[in-house]
Structure 1
Amino acid sequence: MSALTITRRVLLSMVLVFTVLPAAAHEIRPTIADVEVGGDRVTMMLTVTLESLIAGIDLSEVENTNNAPEAAIYDRLRALGPVPLEAALRNAWPRIRQGFLIEVAGERLPPEIVSVAIPAVGNLDLPRDSILTVGADLPPGDAGVRLGLAPRFGTFIPRQIGAGEDAYEGFLDGGALTPEISRAQVLTEGAGALFLRYVGAGFEHIVPLGMDHILFVLGLFFFATQLGPLLWQVTAFTVAHTITLALAATGVVTVPASIVEPLIAATIVFVGIENTLGFGTVKGRTALVFVFGLLHGLGFASVLGDYGIASGRFLYALVGFNIGVEFGQLAVILIAFSLVGWFMSRAWYRKAIAIPASLVIACIGAWWVVERTIL
């Protein structure tokens, strides 16, 4: 049996296994807040996973709750009904409230619980989004309000309500604060500014945050001996992930991250092995890259979907994010070429550079397959 046949059968088996696996990962998603600032009070209605806050999980350190030291506590809380979970929230509130950052003129304001809406217990393998409304009284004066979450609470997406499509929407790392939100005027953000912000977000999702996508693009780079075929493959990858990014981000296609993420890692393993064994052709690799690009687009969409973008401005965000992703991929290729691309035509390039690099890529991808399915 040829190496090509063996590898294809292994990859097909992995696809079948991942397809039937349950959505086991307890995914961590950003906290979305609808913000209302009045003359004497600020209110935030947050869509949040209460169990992670009550358990004390540091969301800046883990990608899903299964990897947290408090995973057992989280799982017990996840099985609680709405009434006991709300009781646990109120008991832990003196600790939790310190993670909600509400500042006026440099003064920190303590938030209080206004209301809690907790869904009934559902699929225990999926996160449960609750609605937590908190508020704080503002001191006298006209100083604006800045809002944020402590680093351990993870990513924060504040959206000012009641201001139409141009209302401010942030995407903040834990610990960061919004610009000052006026008590009398709405903080707005034009379409152009939003477009540029999402170009930056797309680029950042590749460089430096998208290590899996970086390794895949490097796998394409180390297969090539000329820039022409490489650009064709990158083009095929771009067209493919643009299709699924648009379909998944608009809700037409939905695939759980617990399936998508291991399969993305499997594509990295495949390109690394194919580079090492040398059984692929340029045409075959280009077609395969298109198929793999469809899968990577689903991964991009899961990130874009976390932003909670207003429907009226979604197209600006989608196009900007996709352009940012392309800039990120081109940056990876340019950096790789500047380091070793000058030697592509040398007889020793494949054995001395391309194969060792591809083996490293395949090994990292294999570890991610295990980590994303078993650990």
Structure 2
Amino acid sequence: MNDFSMYCTIGLRHVLALNAYDHLLFLVLLLAPYVGQEWKKMLLLVSFFTIGHTLSLLVTAFKPLPCSENYIELGILATIFCTAWFNMVMLLKTSKRNSIVAIATITFVFGCIHGLGFSSSFHALLPGSSVEKMIPLGAFALGIETAQLVVLILVLLMQFVLHTLFRFNKRDFILMTSCFALGVLMPLFLQNPIWKK
């Protein structure tokens, strides 16, 4: 396997590995409010997330940020919490028009935060100068985007199955995913080592 393929595979595994459930959870929440006809919006959002994630890795490839991993982990949990909370609040609004540009911008920022969570591991994977990291970073970003497209397809399939077999509507799916995410987040938030100082 050449280096490009190897780093692309690492990007795929970064998203699709079961122990990377924070990434998966965020993506499911991000995509939950959309249905099959809105696939272009879904594609736009996952792409903005990838760009933000990659930008963080690009910046830290030149100069690592002097920030505790525990704070970054809290930031990642906050992105998931905010997305779940936003989804639930939007269910209560009578006017549900949201600017996709605004949501994509916030998704980009959240992608930057998630990218910071992988920056130290990324440095360990890539010995050498910052310039030598550019091609592996591109391959990694391609792997991330491909994996997120897989998640997008799985979310659409899950919505279809739940709607067809269990008569779940869009509102039910959003509530189910948001409540599940909030339930998963609480123990992770409380277990963060930052509270033990």
TM-score range, shorter chain: 0.7 to 0.9
Pairing 1:173-322 to 2, within 5 Å after superposition: 193-208=2-17, 209-225=19-35, 226-251=38-63, 253-278=65-90, 281-283=98-100, 284-311=102-129, 313-322=132-141
1:224 is paired with a residue whose SS is coil
1:237–1:292: 8 Å Cα contact kept in structure 2?
yes
1:292 is paired with a residue whose SS is helix
Residue 361 of structure 1: aligned partner: 181
Select the structure of larger CA radius of gyration: 1
Higher helix proportion, which one? 2
Residue 339 of structure 1: aligned partner: 158
Partners of 2:66 and 2:50 lie apart in 1 by 20
Partners of 2:88 and 2:132 lie apart in 1 by 45
**TM-score, length of structure 2 as denominator length:** 0.80
Pairing 1:56-205 to 2, within 5 Å after superposition: 193-205=2-14
Deviations 1:90-120 (A, max 9, x none): xxxxxxxxxxxxxxxxxxxxxxxxxxxxxxx
Residue 56 of structure 1: aligned partner: none
Question: Cα offset for 1:197?
Answer: 0.9
Partners of 2:27 and 2:160 lie apart in 1 by 14
Partners of 1:348 and 1:201 lie apart in 2 by 35
**How many residues of Structure 1 are paired with residues of Structure 2 in the alignment?**
182
2:48 is paired with a residue whose SS is helix
2:127 is paired with a residue whose SS is coil
2:125 is paired with a residue whose SS is coil
Give 5+ residue unaligned stretches, structure 2: none
Residue 53 of structure 1: aligned partner: none
Higher strand proportion, which one? 1
Root-mean-square deviation over aligned CA pairs: 2.4
Structure number with greater CO (CA < 8 Å, separation at least 6) is: 2
Partners of 2:75 and 2:160 lie apart in 1 by 29
Runs of 4+ in 1 over 3 A off after TM superposition: 341-344
1:374 is paired with a residue whose SS is helix
Give 5+ residue unaligned stretches, structure 1: 1-191
2:42–2:152: 8 Å Cα contact kept in structure 1?
no
Q: 1:233 to 1:308 in 2, by over 3 A?
A: closer
Question: Cα offset for 1:336?
Answer: 1.7
1:238–1:326: 8 Å Cα contact kept in structure 2?
yes
Q: What one-letter code is carried by the residue in structure 2 that aligns with 1:325?
A: I
Question: Cα offset for 1:271?
Answer: 0.6
Partners of 2:146 and 2:180 lie apart in 1 by 25
Question: Cα offset for 1:263?
Answer: 0.7
Partners of 1:341 and 1:247 lie apart in 2 by 39
The percentage of aligned residue pairs carrying the same residue is: 23
**TM-score, length of structure 1 as denominator length:** 0.44
Residue 117 of structure 1: aligned partner: none
Question: Cα offset for 1:325?
Answer: 1.5
